[in-house]
């Protein structure tokens, strides 16, 4: 049985914005270009949550519209390019907040049919879609416990979210248990 409760504040330099303003978009693009110049891996631009710095503890990240712009800009910047307005518009038109969670389990298929919910106050928000690793990869301590690591990715409609609310993200693996993260959306700056 898997049970973890973590209270964290997501930290990044931008807020969850449903309709980012021009100055926020420009700042996100420049953040990505600066990361490329500094050779900062694009995954460091995500809004990470959870204490999982030891590679054996559940953790995850949010991919907001502004995070996605920064990451795309970093990828382009590593090739000496800048994203076109069309590239930017595709990200800005995306109606979903991506939430990726890495969990650990005792068998290769532990993440199959996992379920994810987001609680904001008295509202329960169900993701539009959930994807999961059908076969988990070996963890860094395999064959010791926990032997397997898998990702579960949920897509939540921005229209369903209160971008300034503290939220409780719960993941329910099919085999039982619950992994919970408290995310303070208002703290994302």
Measured CA distances, 135 to 104, 107, 118 (Å): 12, 9, 25
pLDDT given for residue 54 in this prediction: 67
* pLDDT, tens only, 117-126: 999 999 999 9
pLDDT given for residue 1 in this prediction: 42
Please report which helix (H) or strand (E) contains residue 88, including its range.
helix 85-92
Instruction: Identify the structural domains of the chain with CATH numbers, from first to last.
Output: 3-187 (2.60.40.10)
pLDDT given for residue 15 in this prediction: 55
pTM of the model as a whole: 0.84
DSSP 39-89: T--GGGGSEEESS-TTSSS-EEEEE-HHHHHHHHHHHHHHTT----HHHHH
Task: Give pLDDT < 50 ranges for the chain.
Answer: 1-14, 189
Residue corresponding to tokens 């928000």: 125
CA 170/CA 172 separation, integer angstroms: 7
pLDDT given for residue 7 in this prediction: 41
* pLDDT, tens only, 47-78: 888 876 667 889 999 999 999 999 999 999 99
pLDDT given for residue 4 in this prediction: 47
**Per this entry, what is the length of the chain?**
189
Closest by CA position to 99, among listed 23, 156, 28: 156
């Amino acid at each position: 049985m898997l049970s973890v409760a973590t209270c964290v504040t997501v930290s990044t330099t931008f807020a969850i914005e449903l309709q980012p303003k021009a100055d926020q978009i420009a700042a996100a693009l420049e953040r990505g270009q600066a990361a490329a110049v500094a050779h900062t891996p694009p995954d460091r631009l995500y809004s990470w949550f959870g204490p999982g710095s030891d590679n054996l503890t559940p953790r995850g990240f949010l991919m907001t519209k502004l995070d996605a712009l920064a990451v795309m800009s970093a990828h382009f910047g590593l090739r000496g390019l800048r994203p076109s307005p069309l590239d930017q518009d595709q990200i800005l038109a995306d109606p979903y907040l991506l939430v990726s969670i890495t969990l650990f389990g005792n068998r290769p298929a532990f993440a199959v049919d996992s379920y994810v919910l987001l609680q904001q106050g008295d509202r329960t928000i169900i993701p539009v879609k959930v994807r999961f690793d059908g076969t988990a990869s070996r963890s860094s301590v395999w064959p010791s416990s926990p032997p397997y690591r898998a990702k579960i990715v949920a897509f939540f409609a921005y229209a369903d979210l209160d971008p300034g609310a503290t939220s409780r993200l719960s993941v329910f693996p099919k085999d039982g248990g619950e992994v919970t993260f408290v995310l303070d959306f208002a703290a994302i700056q």
